[in-house]
Chains A and B, each alone.
Chain A
């Protein structure tokens, strides 16, 4: 399939593919086992300018958009969906700065993130505020020229390893969702510490930690957008980041498909490669068709966002929903094709299945995505 990529996008795809094959694939199983944060890969991606793909040139990036992030995420995820998150979650953390940051904030934070010297993270989720982001308990009280944050976040990707955090806290609880505000926090700020690291089913090379705020003083210059805009910052960020999660899912699925095709040609049963059996062929055909459809939806959505279109929530949600369901289906079928070998850790099939599951859950569960899509459909119908 020709995806009509421009020269720079082809370059990003090819280089990420090379890094995935040569540098990530050989270490993926090891990181999955050890749960260490993949700093050597971060360094390598930084040196290759990958962290800058979608940051404007004036802040040290390469000036791409959502599509460039998607291409890189997909290619890297083919080798390991967990390791890729050091990159993809950093974009989730810097997207709100790109979208809502003022010139000083962009100048201060984006160059180091583009260079991969620092990583970013986005912190919305709390124990009692998952799908219902309006139930956030973390508070921020204004005190002179700064805000004092108290509370905690959990399940934060890149938590503890990132240097730059965008944190959503309630500045006025009485206003509900309109009382939330986004802040930029830096690792090392007084009163900002990290809690436990989660032991996860998949994406184990990625760190997931609690952030704890104890009378954490944040200068008022670090408010992102305006006070009370926290919920909008969150929703708009997810609009542009969801194609990224979709691409992670797509990469995991495409990697599973590729290895399943290869294995089915090598595995001999009844005197023939199992790829010669129609039962296997039909599975592979379905997997390939689903992967291709997911890619088409993601690329179309990313291009729509990059063109400056306004109402993208529905498509962004569709891309994330569809690609992550495809990832779960394709990786499960890949395990089936690998048979008993699919179930043991010596082969990468089971890891992909574990890695795929999270893509149906985070950045809004797929049930939340369906709600977003349905609400938008009803709204559009009402408009006529």
Chain B
């Protein structure tokens, strides 16, 4: 079984700063990590690899320094790593990114399952995973919290919903985006770290992909970021004090006044 895991390198911070002029992330002085949600995808991929004696390949699209994210994935036990990188990919939105990644995955040959984190911690769009499956024309199940079984070319998974979960059956090959409830990612191993140091990373540039040039990078990205701003802080609520009956009455009046 060939398993593909898509990961993204993101800034290690919850306090993301935006350059107001370019509307892009300020990356200077911020350490890069693997998108936390993708760690669950890596762990699940490794579990499938171990269970089915398969091969796990990790893929990322990004600048050359994204190689360190791939090496970290290798140190956890992933077999192979592919860096999809080219200046032509710069400025990609989720549509162009998912198109590029889908083209790269096609290049890698047959696979049974693609795993992605449910979303990236920087952009929070949750669109690239579903986008890849659409470009590859394979089924997708998002927010997977458990892979119940995989046999005879069919996977049964549990998909998290707000109320509970759905049990979904899907033919392979397919794409899953996973939530943090699915597993607990392992720490790297020493032997893995040593292997990661010298492992060869396959580089896929635009030239090596069978893709249409005008669907890449900025050109292939219909999303226009017009402005990025922090929403105005909510003003503190009103506190009603005094005897309970009076306070309740005041609260009820206040609510009523809000109803048109």
Residues on A lying within 8 angstroms of B by beta carbon are: 8, 11-12, 15, 18-19, 22-23, 44, 47-50, 52-53, 62
Contact present for B190 and A52 (CB under 8 Å): yes
What would be 17 A-B contacts, judged by CB atoms less than 8 Å apart? A8-B190, A8-B194, A11-B190, A15-B187, A15-B188, A19-B187, A22-B187, A23-B187, A44-B186, A48-B186, A48-B190, A49-B189, A49-B190, A49-B191, A53-B190, A62-B190, A62-B191
Nearest CB on B from A199, distance (A) = 31
CA–CA, A18 to B191, complex, Å? 16
Whether a CB of chain A sits under 8 angstroms from the CB of B219 is no
Contact present for B194 and A47 (CB under 8 Å): no
Interface centre among A15, A18, A48, A49 (most CB of B within 10 A): A48
Contact present for B186 and A15 (CB under 8 Å): no
CA–CA, A62 to B189, complex, Å? 11
The dominant DSSP class at the B interface is helix
CA–CA, A44 to B184, complex, Å? 11
**What chain B residues lie within 8 Å of A22 (beta carbons)?**
187
Whether a CB of chain A sits under 8 angstroms from the CB of B55 is no
The 10 A-B residue pairs with the shortest CB-CB distance in the complex, in nearest-first order: A49-B190, A49-B189, A48-B189, A49-B191, A11-B193, A48-B187, A19-B187, A62-B190, A47-B186, A18-B187
CA–CA, A12 to B188, complex, Å? 11
Interface centre among B186, B188, B190 (most CB of A within 10 A): B190
Contact present for A47 and B191 (CB under 8 Å): no
**What chain A residues lie within 8 Å of B192 (beta carbons)?**
49
CA–CA, A121 to B193, complex, Å? 29
Nearest CB on A from B76, distance (A) = 10
Nearest CB on B from A207, distance (A) = 24
A43 (CB) vs chain B CBs: closest residue: B186
Interface centre among B187, B188, B192 (most CB of A within 10 A): B187
Nearest CB on A from B78, distance (A) = 14
Nearest CB on B from A380, distance (A) = 39
Contact present for A15 and B193 (CB under 8 Å): yes
CA–CA, A50 to B186, complex, Å? 14
**What chain A residues lie within 8 Å of B191 (beta carbons)?**
49, 62
A44 (CB) vs chain B CBs: closest residue: B187
A53 (CB) vs chain B CBs: closest residue: B190
CA–CA, A1 to B209, complex, Å? 49
CA–CA, A11 to B190, complex, Å? 7
**What chain A residues lie within 8 Å of B193 (beta carbons)?**
11, 15
Interface centre among B186, B188, B192, B194 (most CB of A within 10 A): B188
CA–CA, A15 to B190, complex, Å? 8
CA–CA, A204 to B9, complex, Å? 40
**What chain A residues lie within 8 Å of B186 (beta carbons)?**
44, 47-48
CA–CA, A142 to B187, complex, Å? 48
CA–CA, A297 to B194, complex, Å? 29
**What chain B residues lie within 8 Å of A62 (beta carbons)?**
190-191
**What chain B residues lie within 8 Å of A23 (beta carbons)?**
187
**What chain A residues lie within 8 Å of B189 (beta carbons)?**
47-49
CA–CA, A49 to B187, complex, Å? 10
CA–CA, A11 to B189, complex, Å? 10
CA–CA, A18 to B190, complex, Å? 12
Supply 5 further A-B pairs (C-beta < 8 A) apart from A22-B187, A48-B186: A8-B190, A15-B193, A18-B187, A23-B187, A47-B187
Nearest CB on A from B218, distance (A) = 38
Contact present for A48 and B188 (CB under 8 Å): yes
**What chain B residues lie within 8 Å of A50 (beta carbons)?**
190
Contact present for A12 and B190 (CB under 8 Å): yes
**What chain A residues lie within 8 Å of B190 (beta carbons)?**
8, 11-12, 15, 48-50, 52-53, 62
Nearest CB on A from B81, distance (A) = 19
**What chain B residues lie within 8 Å of A15 (beta carbons)?**
187-188, 190, 193
A40 (CB) vs chain B CBs: closest residue: B184
**What chain A residues lie within 8 Å of B188 (beta carbons)?**
15, 48
B191 (CB) vs chain A CBs: closest residue: A49
Which of A11, A44, A53 meets B194, CB within 8 Å?
A11
CA–CA, A218 to B193, complex, Å? 41
**What chain A residues lie within 8 Å of B194 (beta carbons)?**
8, 11
Nearest CB on B from A43, distance (A) = 10
CA–CA, A47 to B189, complex, Å? 6
Nearest CB on B from A27, distance (A) = 13
**What chain A residues lie within 8 Å of B187 (beta carbons)?**
15, 18-19, 22-23, 44, 47-48
Interface residues of B in 5-25 (CB under 8 A from A): none
Interface residues of B in 182-203 (CB under 8 A from A): 186-194
Nearest CB on B from A275, distance (A) = 25
Nearest CB on A from B241, distance (A) = 30
CA–CA, A44 to B194, complex, Å? 18
CA–CA, A49 to B189, complex, Å? 6
Interface residues of B in 161-194 (CB under 8 A from A): 186-194
A45 (CB) vs chain B CBs: closest residue: B187
B77 (CB) vs chain A CBs: closest residue: A47
Nearest CB on B from A37, distance (A) = 20
CA–CA, A15 to B191, complex, Å? 11
Interface residues of B in 67-86 (CB under 8 A from A): none
